[in-house]
Amino acid sequence: MDNYLNKFTVYLKKEKNMSKNSILAYGRDIRGFIAFLREKGVERFEDVSNTEIVSFLLKLKNEGKSAATVNRKLASLRAFFNYLIVLHKISNDPTANIKSPRIERKNIEFLTIEEVERLLAQPDDSIKGIRDKALLELLYASGMRVSEIAGANLSDLNLRIGFIMSGGEHGKARIVPLGKPARVALEKYLYDIRPKLIRDKKDTEALFLNYNGERLTRQGIWKLLKEYGKSARLEHKLTPQILRNSFAAHMLQNGADLKSVQELLGHEDITATQIYLSVTKNRIKDVYDRTHPRA
């Protein structure tokens, strides 16, 4: 069974062009299922039925795993068994007709436009402040994931035209346009500050550098966001996801169509983008309650 898992991970890399982290996640999920099968005495994928899949999912639920985690593992198994069908290793998909657990949607946390303006006003004119201003402006202007920002290189950025190329969660590149404030902040950082951060030509391709001249990490970005969120006295504890949410919410509130926001966020499935529609619905209700004479 392990041999087929190894072939599957190669397939994900070469044929699906998935990121290293995604492939590792698929591997962990399927290895966990293989270990479960062996505990049950099942040694061949041909012998796996709907019963084994359901039992595995119930085991995860009983262990206290969240519905989101169970859904992810089920999605990994679906992809794997579909791959086995393509290889003619099995003839029937044991994950067929199994419904994914329902996930209770939490309220989306996002900043108001006023809070964003307050946040962006926090960095000072120091070396760190100018770098951080560029970083904050880029996060809000693009809606990019923190991993995408941390992994961004100089070659991904085109300030003359005004866009940044993002590799995406699954290795699928997309072009994200940038507004004037982000372009101005990035230009100041690139020409005035970044050369001062370079040390012994270390990782000079990285867009954002730390004081050691190395690529600014995801953890480093999380830490500075926490600091600026606190100094801006924001209601929420600031995270990269909240800035990403704010980008999407403000785009939709100001008239952007859902398909465009989906493409800008890099969502493969539009259902992932639809969670932001609740934001616009709440706004419409607020406007109605505030303005209709018989509300």
Q: Return the beta strands (E) in the chain as ranges.
A: 157-158, 163-166, 174-177
The answer to whether position 206 is within a domain reads yes
The answer to whether position 77 is within a domain reads yes
Domain containing residue 254: 113-289
From 38, 288, 290, 294, the catalytic residue = 288
CATH of the domain at 82: 1.10.150
Asked whether residue 139 falls in the same domain as residue 34, the answer is: no
Asked whether residue 124 falls in the same domain as residue 80, the answer is: no
The per-residue pLDDT for 182 is 95
The answer to whether position 104 is within a domain reads no
Residue among 32, 80, 78 at smallest CA distance from 56: 32
The per-residue pLDDT for 207 is 94
Using CA atoms, how far apart are residues 238 and 15, in angstroms rounded to an integer? 37
Choose one of 47, 69, 86: the last residue of a domain. Answer: 86
The question of whether 244 is a catalytic residue gets the answer yes
Give per-residue pLDDT as tens, 226-248. 999 999 999 878 999 999 999 99
Residue 60 dihedral angles phi and psi, to the nearest 5°: -60, -40
Asked whether residue 39 falls in the same domain as residue 139, the answer is: no
From 145, 183, 194, 244, the catalytic residue = 244
8 neighbors 83 (Cβ within 8 angstroms): yes
Instruction: Tokens for 21, please give them.
Output: 């982290």
The per-residue pLDDT for 31 is 92
Degrees to nearest 5, angle at CA 219 with 176 and 152: 30
Using CA atoms, how far apart are residues 278 and 40, in angstroms rounded to an integer? 44
Name the β-bridge partners of 175: 165
9 neighbors 23 (Cβ within 8 angstroms): yes
Exposure of 80 by Cβ count < 10 A (0-12 exposed, 13-18 middle, 19+ buried)?
buried
**Percentage of the chain modeled with pLDDT above 90:** 48
The answer to whether position 108 is within a domain reads no
Asked whether residue 195 falls in the same domain as residue 282, the answer is: yes
Helix/strand/coil percent split, the chain, to 5? 60, 5, 35
CATH of the domain at 222: 1.10.443.10
Asked whether residue 82 falls in the same domain as residue 118, the answer is: no
Asked whether residue 18 falls in the same domain as residue 135, the answer is: no
Asked whether residue 63 falls in the same domain as residue 190, the answer is: no
Asked whether residue 214 falls in the same domain as residue 130, the answer is: yes
Instruction: Tokens for 59, please give them.
Output: 């085991």
Reported as type and span, the H/E element at residue 246 is helix 240-253
Residue among 165, 153, 157, 139 at smallest CA distance from 206: 153
Does the structure show a pLDDT above 50 at 17?
yes
Question: Which residue is listed with tokens 């029937």?
Answer: 92
Give per-residue pLDDT as tens, 134-162. 999 999 999 999 999 999 999 999 999 99
Q: What do you get for the CA distance between the two ends of the chain, in Å?
A: 63
The per-residue pLDDT for 201 is 64
Residue 165 dihedral angles phi and psi, to the nearest 5°: -95, 125
The answer to whether position 279 is within a domain reads yes
The answer to whether position 118 is within a domain reads yes
Does the structure show a pLDDT above 70 at 168?
no
Give per-residue pLDDT as tens, 72-87. 889 899 999 999 998 8
The per-residue pLDDT for 235 is 81
Residue 242 dihedral angles phi and psi, to the nearest 5°: -65, -40
30-39, 163-172, 267-276: range with lowest mean pLDDT: 163-172
Beta carbons within 10 angstroms of residue 146's beta carbon: 19
Asked whether residue 227 falls in the same domain as residue 144, the answer is: yes
What is the band of 105 on the pLDDT scale with cuts at 50, 70, 90?
low
Does the structure show a pLDDT above 70 at 104?
no
Asked whether residue 282 falls in the same domain as residue 145, the answer is: yes
pTM: 0.64
Reported as type and span, the H/E element at residue 277 is helix 277-291
Query: How many structural domains comprise the chain?
Result: 2
Give per-residue pLDDT as tens, 28-49. 999 999 999 999 898 888 888 8
The answer to whether position 101 is within a domain reads no
Mean pLDDT confidence for 279-288: 56
The answer to whether position 97 is within a domain reads no
Asked whether residue 80 falls in the same domain as residue 121, the answer is: no
Asked whether residue 77 falls in the same domain as residue 123, the answer is: no
Instruction: Tokens for 244, please give them.
Output: 């990403």
Give per-residue pLDDT as tens, 181-223. 999 999 999 999 999 999 876 668 999 999 988 999 999 999 9
The question of whether 189 is a catalytic residue gets the answer no
